[in-house]
Amino acid sequence: MKKIALISIPVVLLLLGISSYLALVVAPTEATMGDVQRIFYIHVPSGWVAGLCFAINFLASIVYLWKRSLSSDALAAASAEVGVIFGAVLLITGPLWARPVWGIWWTWDARLTTTLILWLIYASYLVLRRFASGGQTQVLAAAFAIFGFADVPIVYFSIRWFRTQHPAPVMGGGPDSGLAPPILHVFLTNLAMFTVLGIIFLVLRYQLAMQEQALESAHAQAALRGVSQ
């Protein structure tokens, strides 16, 4: 555990350094928005990592309810926490970009609102984990995770009923969509680095969760021995 942490800290710093350098220096200035556009290199990869973490959380919760394996619960706990952190980055960088470009910090648009509600759901998942007691935590959390994930499409369609202001997906959209090659290269590099960053955080948090479980069961064993003496 300590060894992994010692190796991963310089790796994390290196990745963050390279991605910031690429986004701030290497990438060309965007024609209409100017330098503000550079936040996109952090904003979109954070959103991707958060979405990935929430999907992992959902799958791990299903596996937990099915197999009752402690490792899948540890993975669920780790992915929810990392997802909430990257989601927070997403929600903070979005308004920073929107203020100069749209002229407003926030709008109740489909994508923004869905992201915010998703973030609230997983934050409440963490609150539930924090306050559930003893061995019930895992089952309660896994059940709630399934509710949270089932809610996502419903939230999205309910909000889409309102007007949408968020830029349409840039890639794979219409014939005019797509990024200029230099922007695309930096973006893809950043996306890969953020994914590695997310995975490092996930692995560290996962091992911490496993140790928490081991500690908890050791306490329980000690208490049982104390009773039997």
Partner 1 sequence: MTTLAVTRATLWKDLRMEWRSKDAINSMLFFALLVVVIFSFAFNPTAEESRHIAGGLMWVAFLFSAVVALNQTWARELRNQVLDAYRVSPAPPNALFLAKAVGNFLFVTILECLMAPLFVVFYELRSVGPFWQLIVIALLGTWALVVNGTFFGALSIRTRNREIMLPLILFPISIPALLGMVDATTLILTGDGSPFFWMKLLAVYDIVFTSVCLLLFESVLNAE
Interacting residues toward partner 1 by CB under 8 A: 65, 117, 120-121, 123-125, 127-128, 131-133, 135-136, 139-140, 142-144, 146-148, 150-151, 154-155, 157-159, 161
Nearer residue to partner 1 within complex by CB, 24 or 154:
154
Whether 63 and 72 have beta carbons less than 8 Å apart is answered as yes
Residue 225 CB, shortest distance to partner 1, in Å, is 20
Residue 147 CB, shortest distance to partner 1, in Å, is 6
Nearer residue to partner 1 within complex by CB, 18 or 152:
152
Residue 120 CB, shortest distance to partner 1, in Å, is 4
Residue 165: partners with Cβ closer than 8 Å, 6 or more residues away: 102, 107, 109
Nearer residue to partner 1 within complex by CB, 38 or 129:
129
Residue 210 CB, shortest distance to partner 1, in Å, is 20
Residue 179 CB, shortest distance to partner 1, in Å, is 33
Name the residue among 57, 148, 38, 54 with its Cα closest to residue 96: 38
Neighbour tally for 63: CB within 10 Å: 17
Nearer residue to partner 1 within complex by CB, 29 or 124:
124
Nearer residue to partner 1 within complex by CB, 69 or 124:
124
Tell me the residue length of the chain: 229
| C-beta pairs of 107-110 under 8 Å, 24+ apart in sequence | 107/165, 108/159, 108/162, 109/159, 109/162, 109/163, 109/164, 109/165, 109/166, 110/156, 110/159, 110/160, 110/162, 110/164, 110/166
